[in-house]
Structures are given as C-alpha cells and as structure tokens.
Chains A and B, each alone.
Chain A
Amino acid sequence: MDRFWRLPQNISTYGGDIDSMFHIIAWITIVVFFAVELLLVWFLFRYRAREGRKATYTHGNNRMEVAWTAGTAVIVVILGVMSRGLWLDIKDPRRFPDAGLELIVTAKQFEWNVTYPGADGVLETDDDFTVRNQLRVPANTNVRMTLRSEDVIHSFYVPELRLKQDVVPGMSIPAWFEATVPGQYVIGCAELCGIGHYSMDASFYVHTAEEWTQWNAQQQTAAAGGATTNVASADATSAEPAGSPAAAAAGTSN
C-alpha cells in the first residue's frame, strides 16, 4: 500500500496516526470504488439494449434510498468523529505536549529563518541566535515552533513529519512535532509565494542528543562572542548525521 501511494517515510510521533487514518480511508474508498464501478460495468453489460425488450418501468424504491442515505451518513460521521480527536491533538495549542525546545521560524521570500533560544533557553532574549535555511532539532524531543512571515503567506511543509502549516503575515501560528528518526530532510513551501516559490527549500536535520548538544553549544558560543557567524550560510554542512535514505537523496539537492 505504501508503495502504491508513495507515502514518504514517517519520522514524527503523530505521523503514524495520520498514516493509519489515511489507510482506513484508503481501504474504505477502495472497497466502495470497486463495488460501485463493478456494479456499473455489470449493469452496462447485463442491461445492454436488446431487440424487443422493454426496460423495467420503475420510479425508484424508497427503502433503498433510505438505506444508502443512512449507510453513507454513518460511514462519514464515524470518519469525522475519528478524525476530529487526531486533528485537535496536532493543531489545537491547548492540547500541545510540553515543549522540550521552542523555536521561532520566520519565513520570507524565499527563505526560512530559524531562531533558537540561546544559552538561557528563553526565546526573544539577547542571546537568541538565528540560522538561515536550516532547522536543526534533537530527536525524540517535543519541538514547539512559532511560525511567522515577514511578507506573504508561505506554508511550512515537511512530508516526513506529516506536518504542514501555513505561515501568515501578521499572525504567530504555533505548531509542534516530535521527530524520531535522525537524518537530513527538506522543508518545502507549500503555498504559492512568488517567483521563487519552487525553490524555497531549507535543510531539516534531526540530530541525536549528542550531536544536537554539540551543535547548539557551538552556535551559542559563536552568538555570545558577538561573531556575525550566528547567521549560518544556507548549506553549511557541519555535524552531518548518519544518513537515512532521505538524507542520501537530500544531499544531492541544490
């Protein structure tokens, strides 16, 4: 099934639940699809026009109308109820798990800037540091992002995280994820944002705890030293974790 749908590898804690929901809907729709289409083809064959035959004269059947109306309604209501909890778990800030790391992601044409809290662990203080086109997080940590835009609407999208969230100017939109598989992935923009929309990609690294601590410490020192290197260049390749298939593929981009 995953091969058929070409689902990307899942690396987030809630991605599995989304995929399960996807598969439930996929199986229901596949069954309905084959039932309806086979019935259609069967009717077309069975009731094709023949000489001297008249069609059945009927205007319908109220019992059948009630049956398929109720049947469909029950299925979609169940799907709706099942989806609602998962939806709120992922998107409702009141249900967000406690954050192990808080970040600000600021989008602008056509780049992603990630602001880290620095040594004090608190955002929007003097020791914050900002990295351009790189999002680095430790694995198995709840990351809470505040998404902001400086110009137009962008959309933060990492297929492997099963996370997408529009980034709207004038709004600070919260989002969270917990990545489980270390590797290198790509952030894409999913909302048309101008001429460079197609190439508004950024690297996304999920590090092991040690790698993360080391990189974070490096950046904090650089930031504290007042060095201008706190804005790292777009494709800096330090602390490259061991590659997953996605990482190998991502390495060839740009």
Chain B
Amino acid sequence: MSTVATAHESGTHDAHGQHEELPFLRKYVFSTDHKVIGIQFLFMSLLFLLFGGLLAMAMRWQLAWPTDPTNAMPGGSLLPETMFTSGVMLPEFYNALVTMHGTIMVFFAIMPLLVGVWANYLIPLQIGAEDMAFPRLNMASFWMAVPAGLLMMASFAVVGGAANAGWTGYAPLSTSDVYSGVKLGQQLWTISLVILGFSSLIGAVNYITTVINMRAPGMTWFRLPLSTWALFITSILLLLAVPVLAGGLIMLFFDITFNTGFFNPVVGGQPLLWQHLFWFFGHPEVYILILPAMGFVSDIMANGARKPIFGYKAMVWAIIAIGFIGWIVWGHHMFMSGMNPLLGGFFMVTTMMIAVPSAIKTFNWLGTLWGGNIIFHTPNLHAIAFVALFVIGGLSGIFLAAAPVDIPLHDTYFVVAHIHYVLVGGSLFGIFGAIVFWFPKMFGRMMNEPIGKLHWLLTFVFFNLTFFPMHMLGSGGMMRRLYDPTVYPHIAQHQDTNVFITVCALLLFASQFLFMFNFFWSMFRGKKASANPWNANGLEWSAPSPPPHGNWGGRQPVVHRGPYEYSSPESDEDFLMQTAPPTGRPTPAHS
C-alpha cells in the first residue's frame, strides 16, 4: 500500500495509488476523512494551547513582579493602552487574562486535544471502520469549532476587551457591564461557547453512533481498546452535559443583551441558578477532560510494559462509574456559595465516592507495570508521568472534597494547584504521550526520541516546580485571581515563592519549544515508520502508516482477540495483534 492522504501541507508528498484524486480543498481543508479532521483539530488545538500558555506567562509575570515598571513584562509595551500602561499591566486586563486562559485552555486546547483529535482519528481506526458514521457531520463539527475560536480571539480586540468574569462567568458580574466594564467581550464569549458546544454535540452524536454501529466483525464491547472506551463514555458525557451549558449560556446572553434577569436578583432572578447550570455541566466536563487521557495512558502503558493491561474489565467499569457518579457531584464547586449546607453534605459524600474508581484505575496501572518488561519509549515516559502526577491531583482533591477543610482552601491557589495537577500533569501528559505514540500513524514518520525524552524530562521537572508550591500558597491563604498578591500581608510574605513559581513557569513554557521543533521537524525529516512501529496490538497498527482514505484499502479487518495480548504464550513474539488469526496454540484462561 502506498502512503496517501496525510494532512500536512507538503507539496513534495507523493499521493499516488489512490482510486480518485481529490482537489486540494476537498482533501486538506473541507475533507470528510476522519483522519484529516483529526489532524486539523490537532493543529488548531495546539495553536490554542500555545496561545493559552502565553496568556498564563503574562499572568505569572504580573504575579511575580506586580505593578513594577522597572521589571515590566517583555512585550507589554506593544499592547494597547487599555491593557498595559507605562510599564504596568492593568487589573481589568489581568482579569481578562485569567478568564481567557481558563476558557481557551479548557474549551479550545485540552478538550479538542482529547476529544476532537483522538475521537476522530482513533475511533474508526481502533474499531475497524472505514470512516465515521456521518463524515459530513464530522466536517461540520470542525468547521464550527474554527469560527468559535476566532470569535473568542476577536473578543480581545473589541471595545471593553475580552470577557473578564472568570472562566466560570459567575453572574451577575458577567451579566452587567456596570459591574465588569465588559459587554461585547462577554457576549462574544457566550456566543463562541454556544457554537463550540454545538460542534462538540454533533461530534459526540457521531462518535457514539460510530462506536455502537461500526465495529469490525469480532470487535465485541470487551475487546475495545480502553482509548475507545474512554472516548465513548466521554462522548456520552458531552452529549448530555453540553446542552445544559448551552441553555445556561443562552440565558446568560439574554441577561447581558436584553436584561431578562434570569440571574439578576434585582428583578427576582437567581445568581446561584447560573452556578448550578454551569457546574451541572462543569463537573462532567472535568471528567471529559481526563477520561480520554486515562484511555491513552492505558493503551500506551500496556505497550510499554509489554504486558496485558491489569484488570481490563475493572478499568472499563471504573470509566463507566466515573461517568455515572460524575453527574451528582457538581455541588462541591459550590460548598461556599450559600447553597443549603445539607446539600453540601450530600455532595461531599458523592464526591468522596468518586475517588474510588480513580483509585481503581491507578492501582491497575501499577498492576500493569508489575511483572512487565518495561520499555522506556517517550510515550511510555509520558504515561508514567501521568500516573505519578494524577496521584497527586487525586489526593489533593480529597482535601477539597472534605467540605470543612474546603472552607479555608476554597478559591485559593490550592485549587489552582489541584486543577493543574489533573489537567496538565494528567491530561496534558496523556496528550503528549498520545501524540508521540500515534504520530507515526498520522504522518508516517517517527518523532525524534532523544529530543522527545529531553522534552519530557524538562516538562516533568518544571511542571512540578511550578505547580507543587502552589499547594502551600493556597493553604497559606492566597486567593485565586488576584491581580496583585502583595496587597495582603499574609500573601506578601510568600512573594519569593511567587517569583520562584514564575521563573519555573517560564522555563516550563520554554521547554515546549522542544516539542514544537520535534513535531514539525519529524513530520518532514523523522525516521520513516512501519505500519506497526511500537509492536502494538490494536487495529490501527494493522493499517498502513499513514492509512489511506478508507483505512484498510477496502479490506475489512477481522478481530480475533482483545487489544492487550502482550507476551501471550500464544505467540513467540511479545505482542499479538487483534487481527492475527488464532495460532492454534491453547489460549490461556483469562482470570
């Protein structure tokens, strides 16, 4: 089979052997091929990741050297007067940075990096389908995400600046420019998220239908790789959570634009109603942002350990359990909101319960490594880092779940540390691992291993140096979203910690250029990849690298076993692909 239909805009690329040659626009831009759409999502969300990181750097600079013109942020003077004046960042701009960093990272970077990229790219390949159930709907999903992102970016340029009421957009700060000074920016924020929500929604309909209906012969539910399982449950969460957010956002938009008063207590509205709607979506969203990464890590770690995943069914049930319990824990974001304390007690118990499936997953990853023959390829290093850091993020969650302990910790940097251990230490490491692991499938070339390992090491070190001290800032009483932490004496005494964190954050950001270089360099110059460079078992590795349009060139793959038959006595090698016909040797009984 020849190599065809990759999405990078390489003119030198030879695309022969395809039955019909599509024009450039249909092939790379308005493509209905799930692989091209996945790669389009990859480029889009990596751009947003870079931009969101840049916003974080601006925030960190301000926190280390607040209102100090002698140590003005580099490039700050290039910003308009409404953001940065005579060497000092303005508080309204800082609040916009806080809001947009959160919004962009959650909705436009991590979410598409987990779901948009991999649900599109992996699901058909892992279940043995030629494409998605609704390829044109899939294309529409991507081309709705793009204008949503552009609207969000455009809000920086409008009168009053970008939304500045936090990524949670708590009403009535978000609904009145009298309070926030921002109207148009907040409206754009709302519209952008509604459009993005619709994009996610039709994506989810597509993913769910595809997994249910399009599996190859022999691909039973309990032979699905955990990546697909996680993406499937994630899609269900998206399907049911996003419309609730959309309803809330529409009411928020009406409140801003027409003064309808849903969340405005002056006319009888309820500010807490917005919080309930937002977090009813928001907590499943938190699991949307981690479950797929858990799936990737499981696939990668079994491959790295050359061993079947420990407790496959327990892993599946843990994903499903998280998917269920995730719906009844949203109130723990509102312990301090003035909600009935008895409700708080209920949400505390459910929140504690959700620690159980998370623990099951962690112990099963350890079990996977136990007795393995562990290869430290870059994807596996990222997977190991995921487990190590997810443990910290999970354990710090117990502090916050215990409502009385949450009283001093709520809305402090302890929460910031917790969410970043889960979303960066967890999700982002999972994403890096997935990109390096499936890069050869996407682009037909390997990423450079030494650079990849260096990038992993620097990211791991500087990530911990950046975010671990934030726990102590939080338990020391430093509130979130403070433009100038030196105003409060009990925070000012920890200013040296803030400076230290900023330096490490800058180094963490700088380390990502290694990844960027590796990504683009390898795309053109990397070592050519075989169909199955990691000696893995999944169906995606039985297709050529990169797979042609239709994935298996008209052949229908047939599945004979589960995805994790590493080191099986059935085979002389230490892997056994799902498509390999039975060898005739006795299959060992599964426990």
- Direct chain A–B contact by Cβ atoms under 8 Å: yes
Q: Is A90 located at the chain interface by the 8 A CB criterion?
A: yes
Expressed in whole angstroms, the Cα–Cα distance for A198 and B489 within the complex equals: 13
Cβ of B336 and Cβ of A166 under 8 Å apart? Answer: yes
Interface check A97, CB cutoff 8 A: no
Q: Is the CB–CB distance between B345 and A73 below 8 Å?
A: no
Residues of B within 8 A of A192 (CB): 95, 98, 165-166, 170, 173, 480-481
Task: Say which residue of B266, B373, B490 sits within 8 Å of A55 (CB atoms).
Answer: B373
Q: Mark A80-107, 1 if CB is under 8 A from B, else 0.
A: 1001101110111000000000000000
Contact of A186 with B by CB under 8 A? yes
Whether A60 lies near B475 (C-beta < 8 A) is no
CA distance A55 to B574 in the complex (A): 8
Residues of the A chain whose Cβ atoms lie less than 8 Å from the Cβ of B479: 157, 188-190
Which residue, B337, B375, B471, B590, has most C-beta atoms of chain A within 10 A? B337
> Is A164 part of the binding interface, using a Cβ–Cβ cutoff of 8 Å?
yes
- Assess whether B526 is interfacial by the CB under 8 Å rule: no
Residues of B within 8 A of A32 (CB): 391, 395
Complex Cα distance A115/B550, Å? 72
Residues of A within 8 A of B5 (CB): none
**CB <8 Å contact, B170 and A191:** yes
Q: How large is the interface on B (under 10, 10 to 19, 20 to 34, 35 or more residues)?
A: 35 or more
Task: Tell me if A253 is interfacial: C-beta within 8 Å of chain B.
Answer: yes
Known contacts A55-B372, A59-B310; is A76 also within 8 Å of B366 by CB? no
Assess whether A88 is in contact with B490, with CB atoms less than 8 Å apart. Answer: no
Distance in Å from the Cβ of A82 to the closest Cβ of chain B?
8
Contact A87 B370, beta carbon cutoff 8 Å: no
Q: Which residues of B contact A224 (CB under 8 A)?
A: none
- Closest chain A residue to B174, Cβ basis: A152
Interface size on A, as a range, is: 35 or more
- Do A91 and B489 touch (CB < 8 A)? no
The proximity string for A residues 1-32 relative to B, scoring 1 for CB distances below 8 Å and 0 otherwise, is 00011111000000001100110011011001
Q: Quick check: which of A45-53, A130-138, A230-238 contacts chain B, the rest being far away?
A: A45-53
Residues of B within 8 A of A40 (CB): 366, 369, 384, 387-388
CA distance A72 to B197 in the complex (A): 35
Which residue of A8, A84, A153 contacts B477 across the interface (Cβ within 8 Å)? A8
- A57-B173 contact in complex given A73-B356, A76-B353, C-beta closer than 8 Å: no
Q: Whose C-beta in chain A lies nearest to the C-beta of B476? A: A6
Q: How far is the CB of A137 from chain B (nearest CB, A)?
A: 19
B306 proximity list for chain A (CB < 8 A) = 49, 54-55
Residues of B within 8 A of A163 (CB): 407-408
Q: Is the CB of A25 within 8 A of B338?
A: no
Q: Which residue of chain B has its CB nearest to the CB of A161?
A: B408
B456 to chain A, nearest CB (A): 14
A18–B574 alpha-carbon span in the complex (Å): 53
Binary interface profile of B, 437-468, with partner A (CB < 8 Å = 1, else 0)? 00000000000000000000000000000000
In angstroms, how far is the closest chain B Cβ from the Cβ of A192?
4
Q: Is B139 an interface residue (CB 8 A)?
A: no
For residues 293 through 339 of chain B, which have their beta carbon under 8 Å from a beta carbon of chain A? 305-308, 310-314, 336-338
- Interface members, chain B 57-97 (any A CB < 8 Å): 91-92, 95
Interface centre among B165, B352, B493 (most CB of A within 10 A): B352
B369→A186 contact, CB < 8 A:
no
Contacting pair B395 A199 (CB below 8 A): no
Are B408 and A168 interface neighbours, CB within 8 A? Answer: no
**Nearest-Cβ distance from residue A230 to partner chain B, whole angstroms:** 27
Asked if residues A80 and B408 are in contact (CB atoms below 8 Å), the reply is: no
Among residues of A, the one whose C-beta sits closest to the C-beta of B172 is A152
Say yes or no: B475 contacts A87, CB within 8 Å: no
- Known contacts A25-B399, A49-B373, A164-B336, A194 near B179 by CB under 8 Å: yes
A72 close to B356 (CB less than 8 A):
yes
Residues of chain A with a CB closer than 8 A to B391's CB = 32-33, 36-37
User: When the two chains form their complex, are residues A69 and B356 in contact, meaning their CB atoms are under 8 A apart?
Assistant: yes
Asked whether A37 lies within 8 Å of B404 as measured between CB atoms, the reply is no
Binding site secondary structure of chain B: helix
8 Å CB contact of A47 from B305, B337, B483, B490: B305
Q: Is residue A196 within 8 Å, beta carbon to beta carbon, of the partner chain?
A: yes
- Are B307 and A55 in touch, CB under 8 angstroms? yes
Q: CB distance A29 to B344 under 8 Å?
A: no
B403 touches A87 (CB 8 A): yes
Judge if B27 is at the interface, Cβ distance under 8 Å: no
User: How many angstroms between the C-alpha atoms of A26 and B402 in the bound complex?
Assistant: 12
Residues from chain A with a CB closer than 8 A to the CB of B384 are 40, 44
Partner of A151, one of B179, B396, B476: B179
Expressed in whole angstroms, the minimum distance between the Cβ of A240 and any Cβ of chain B is: 15
* B135 interface residue (CB < 8 Å to A): no
**Contact between chains at B337 and A168 (CB < 8 Å):** yes
Return chain A residues, CB-CB under 8 Å to B492: 249, 253
B495 at interface (Cβ–Cβ under 8 A)?
A: no
Question: Which of chain A's residues have a CB closer than 8 A to the CB of B387?
Answer: 40
Determine the distance from Cα of A91 to Cα of B334 in the docked complex, in whole angstroms: 13
Taking the nearest CB of chain A, how far is it from the CB of B264, in angstroms?
8
Give the distance to chain A from B475, nearest Cβ to Cβ, in Å.
Answer: 4
Q: Determine whether the beta carbon of A83 is less than 8 Å from that of B312.
A: no
B360 interfacial by beta-carbon distance below 8 Å: yes
CB 8 Å contact bits of A139-165 with B (1 = contact, 0 = none)? 000000000000111010101001111
Q: Does A193 contact B (CB under 8 A)?
A: yes
Q: Is the CB of B307 within 8 A of A56?
A: yes
Q: Give every chain A residue within 8 A of B355 (Cβ-Cβ).
A: 72, 76
Is the pair A68, B360 in contact by a Cβ cutoff of 8 Å?
A: yes
B348 touches A83 (CB 8 A): yes
Is B25 an interface residue when CB atoms closer than 8 A count as contact?
no
Cα A8 to Cα B492 with chains together (Å): 13
Q: How far is the CB of A20 from chain B (nearest CB, A)?
A: 10
> Cβ of A195 < 8 Å from any Cβ of B?
yes
Query: In the complex, A190 Cα to B342 Cα: how many Å?
Result: 23
Chain B, 384-422, contact with A by CB distance < 8 Å: what is the 0/1 string? 100110011001101101111101101110000000000
Among A5, A33, A91, max chain B CB count under 10 A is at A91
A198 touches B371 (CB 8 A): no
User: Any chain A CB within 8 A of the CB of B276?
Assistant: no
Which A residues between 52 and 80 are near B, CB-CB below 8 angstroms? 53-62, 64-65, 68-69, 72-73, 76-77, 79-80
Residues of A within 8 A of B480 (CB): 190, 192
Residues of B within 8 A of A79 (CB): 352, 398, 402
- From B307, B348, B405, B489, give the contact of A57 (CB < 8 A): B307
Instruction: Give the distance in Å from the alpha carbon of A186 to the alpha carbon of B490 in the complex.
Output: 9
Q: In chain A, residues 165-223, which have Cβ atoms closer than 8 Å to a Cβ of chain B?
A: 165-171, 173, 186, 188-199, 201
The listed residue (B91, B342, B564) touching A198 by CB distance below 8 A is: B91
On whether the beta carbons of A57 and B567 are closer than 8 Å, the reply is yes
**Chain A minimum-CB-distance residue to B349:** A80
Least CB distance from A148 to B in Å reads 11
A252 touches B (CB below 8 Å) = yes
- Closest chain B residue to A250, Cβ basis: B489
Contact of B395 with A29 in the complex, beta carbons under 8 Å = yes
Contact B487 A253 (CB under 8 A): yes
Q: Which residues of A contact B475 (CB under 8 A)?
A: 5-7, 22
Residues of chain A within 8 A of B566, CB atoms compared: 55, 57
Q: With contacts A18-B404, A21-B402 known, what are 4 further pairs, Cβ within 8 A? A: A26-B399, A60-B313, A80-B349, A169-B271
A/B interface sample: 6 pairs, CB < 8 A = A33-B392, A56-B307, A90-B404, A168-B272, A169-B172, A194-B179
Which 7 residue pairs across A and B have the least CB separation, nearest first?
A: A170-B265, A159-B477, A56-B371, A6-B476, A60-B311, A249-B489, A91-B341
